[in-house]
Amino acid sequence: MVATILRKLNVQVYGESEPTVVLAHGFGSDQTAWRHQVDALSQQHRVIIFDYLGCGKSDVSAYNPLQYSSFDGYCNDVLALYEALDLNQTIFVGHSVSAMIGILISRQQPALISKLVFIGASPRYLNDGAYHGGFEQANLNAVYEAMAANYFDWANGFAPMVVGAPDRPELGQEFANSLAAMRPDIAQSTARWIFEADLRHELLFVQQPVLLLQTANDIFVPMEVGIYLSLHIPHNRLVVLEGQGHLPHLSMPNAITQEIQGFIAGVWEK
């Protein structure tokens, strides 16, 4: 069982010291996006990185469209990873959709996670009355149509906009490459359930301290969402980073790493 889940998710472990930091990537990305944080954090902590099924070097042969049609399949994989490595009281760092996976896991088994870090998180991408998630259904339908028409063209156009670093085109290309590495049917299925999910009702149940990291200009997650999270999660701190883009751990890695290190050390709680 241990070898199976570690192989399935291409789990890598760096460093030795507690607390353990689990770095969970977002949609279309993979564990390599955390390389800057791994280098810095593993000097003081044990760091766990992995690839969600269908991403990076995960075992795509284990993919089942019914099992992975919602958060459940991915949460179960992360819980299996925690069990295999006997993890508890970790710092869970979730980028984008992984922030919501962190919430669900922390509610199911609170002892597994002591603190949560969210980067570019959103509980709901669709606009809903007074709630501004950033997208109308028509916007999402256009995304799905573009993905279905020519997935690789869509990835190459979508990635640079999301990364938001025109002065560093190699980062947009890196994200495009990780998107293109996904099997198109898996990417399209995953995009649909992520973009149309609604986890706003889960926010009030978060027991752990949460560090919310949001760039000032994220085309994917508007500032209103970061403010909404800050107003609805009981114990949190919202940090707005002067910059843009949805992958600041790639485009401004030092700033992200410093915020995580300070949070682990308890600086903002003193």
Catalytic residues: 96, 218, 246
Cβ proximity of 116 and 123 under 8 Å: no
Sign of torsion over alpha carbons 246, 252, 256, 262: negative
Cα–Cα distance, 153 to 49 (Å, whole number): 29
Q: Report DSSP state, residue 252.
A: S
Residues 6+ apart with CB under 8 A from 178: 28, 29, 30, 32, 33, 55, 56
Cβ proximity of 119 and 253 under 8 Å: no
Beta pairing class for 47-49 and 90-95: unpaired
Cα–Cα distance, 78 to 74 (Å, whole number): 6
Q: Report DSSP state, residue 94.
A: E
Burial label, 181 (beta-carbon count in 10 A; 0-12, 13-18, 19+): middle
Residue the block writes with tokens 């902590």: 45
Long-range contacts, 200-203 (Cβ 8 Å, 24+): 200/123, 200/124, 200/131, 200/228, 200/232, 202/100, 202/103, 202/104, 202/107, 202/123, 203/103, 203/123, 203/229, 203/232, 203/233
